[in-house]
Amino acid sequence: MAEQRIDDATGTPTVGHEWDGIEELDTPMPRWWLWTLYATIIWGIAYTVLYPAWPLVNSATQGLLGWSSRAQLEGEEEAERVRKAPLQLALSQIPIERLQDDSRLMQAAVEGGRAAFKVHCVQCHGSGAAGSPGYPNLNDDDWLWGGDIKQIHTTLVHGIRQPGHDETRMSQMPAFGRDGILTPEQVEDVVSFVRVISRQEKASAAAQRGGKLFADNCAVCHGPTGTGDRKVGAPNLTDAIWMYGGDRETIARTVTNSRYGVMPAWGARLDPVTLKMLAAYVHSLGGGEDFLPTPPAPTAPQATASPAAVQPAKSNVQP
């Protein structure tokens, strides 16, 4: 059995073990450490009694206080709804085209739209709204269907080529190569013309032939100069912005097989206020355009009878 002794240098008992002249001191725990340990034990017991703690077969102990994290979350959500209610009401009542006139509401809508964008839109347009092949960049000023806040809102509500939605943005580019409208050689000529008007290639005989084909087959949507038409969502082919790519191979694939991108109609998925917020946020990204009200159609002048055509009324009273 090990023999305990008192260490001469510290006056502390040893545990009686020695190895190569080294002994282990039997130093007791500090009182403050022991009291801290006891306090944490008491606190842990109290916590399990007051709060939900012990799992049972089909549930768990509820605790004497009746607290639950779900109830706390619901309470916080309700408090947040109450806090936002005046803003939500104001946004619901203001027409989307008048939103920019109220700087306070517009700023609040942009902040709310930024949060909604991160939940619903980043999957396609990216976290910075810069898009990717097949999904447009929302930071520039190149718009297929219009870039004022009302047009953006309309696109969000009704979507683009949303199946089963009568008011969706709808257009269809023919598959010129796949459907036999143009031969492969003619497709290549059209590609040459498109790359010339987009300043990627120099004029050539192929581009000249492609220009005639473009006028006969493509100008009805893209316009005679290729600048596009927002009424049908036809892109501008003369700039350097390409949704699918502007190299020869990609343009040839587009002309041959067409493109048919679909954007969901968010009007059936999101509430009206969130849709306004998203429109405000997208408009604020840098390419948003000013809203220009559509002037009312002129009314035809009302016909007025000539003085000669007006006959005095005859009296039915007998003299």
Q: For the segment 249-293, what is each residue's pLDDT rounded down to a tens digit?
A: 999 999 999 999 999 999 999 999 999 999 999 999 989 999 877
Average pLDDT over residues 157-180: 96
- Are residues 207 and 196 in contact, defined by beta-carbon separation less than 8 angstroms? yes
Query: What CA–CA distance (Å, rounded) separates 94 from 2?
Result: 89
| pTM (global) more than 0.85 | no
List the CATH code of the domain at 85-165+272-284. Answer: 1.10.760.10
Coil/strand/helix, residue 296? coil
pLDDT beyond 50 at 39 = yes
Backbone angles phi, psi at 234, to 5 degrees: -85, 125
Domain with CATH 1.10.760.10 in the chain: 85-165+272-284, 184-257
Confidence of residue 299 (pLDDT cuts 50, 70, 90): low
pLDDT at residue number 59: 87
What's the Cα-to-Cα distance from 81 to each of 86, 89, 144, 268, 273, rounded to whole Å?
Answer: 9, 11, 36, 22, 13
Q: Which of 310, 187, 201 is nearest to 255 (CA)?
A: 187
Q: Which fold has domain 184-257?
A: Cytochrome Bc1 Complex; Chain D, domain 2 (1.10.760)
Beta bridge partners of 135: 132
pLDDT tens by residue, 183-221: 999 999 999 999 999 999 999 999 999 999 999 999 999
DSSP assigned state of 112:
H
Residue 213 structure tokens: 């084909």
What number of other Cβ atoms are within 10 A of residue 160's Cβ? 19
Q: Are 92 and 98 in contact (CB under 8 A)?
A: no
pLDDT grade for 75, boundaries at 50, 70 and 90: very high
Residues 64-91, mean pLDDT to the nearest whole number: 95
- Paired with 261 in beta bridges are none
CA distance linking residue 29 with residue 27, whole number of Å: 7
Answer for the pair 7, 24: CB distance below 8 angstroms, yes or no: no
